[in-house]
Amino acid sequence: MEKILADEENLLLLEILQNDCKKSLKEIARELGMPMSTVHEKIKKFEKMGLIKSYRAVLDEKKLGFDVTAFIMVATRCSGGEKTFQRNIGETVSSLPHVLETHTLSGEWDLIVKVKFKDVHELGKFVNESIRTIPGIEKTMTMVSIDEIKEDTALKLR
């Protein structure tokens, strides 16, 4: 794995795929100055190794009416003498619709959850009827984003 990540061509290939996975093998091969068969072989190898987890379209949520992005802080508690673990609650929260990310945290809050909704009414209903009803959740704090400065999934590899 370290050898692959140390290879400049491999890193460039991964960056190209992160930025536009719809590019043809021919375009990528031309950009990298290598045969299409080599590019194809490298991509298949990256997929097999789990470096490339999936391919997906990045949608414009605003054009689809999802105007509200919020971050929900979640604190958990012990329930009935049985310890409720962050990860278990995080997995439950993650399975809910509208949840884009869930992370366990250290400190005062146990989880942070990123969600997107069409309006604040839907968000409020979600927090009150879905999140707060999960056993083991003690309290939540919801923060609504007022301006998105940067949202990206591409890693800086070089």
User: Mean pLDDT of successive 10-residue segments in the chain (158 residues)?
Assistant: 78 94 96 96 94 92 96 82 73 97 92 97 98 95 96 88
- Within 10 Å of residue 114's Cβ, how many Cβ atoms? 16
Query: What is the C-alpha separation between 130 and 38, in angstroms, rounded?
Result: 48
- Write the single-letter amino acid at 78: C
Given a contact cutoff of 8 angstroms between Cβ atoms, the answer to whether 75 and 109 are in contact is: yes
Domain limits, CATH 3.30.70.920, in the chain = 68-144
d(CA 100, CA 153): 12
CATH 3.30.70.920 corresponds to the domain 68-144:
yes
**CATH fold group of domain 2-49:** Arc Repressor Mutant, subunit A (1.10.10)
The pLDDT value recorded for residue 84 is 56
pLDDT for 79 equals 52
Residue 86 to residue 73: CA distance in whole angstroms? 12
For CATH 1.10.10.10, the residue range(s) in the chain are 2-49
Per the structure block, which two tokens stand in for 122?
A: 């839907």
Pairing of strands 68-76, 99-104: unpaired
Q: How far apart are CA 129 and CA 121, in angstroms?
A: 12
pTM: 0.85
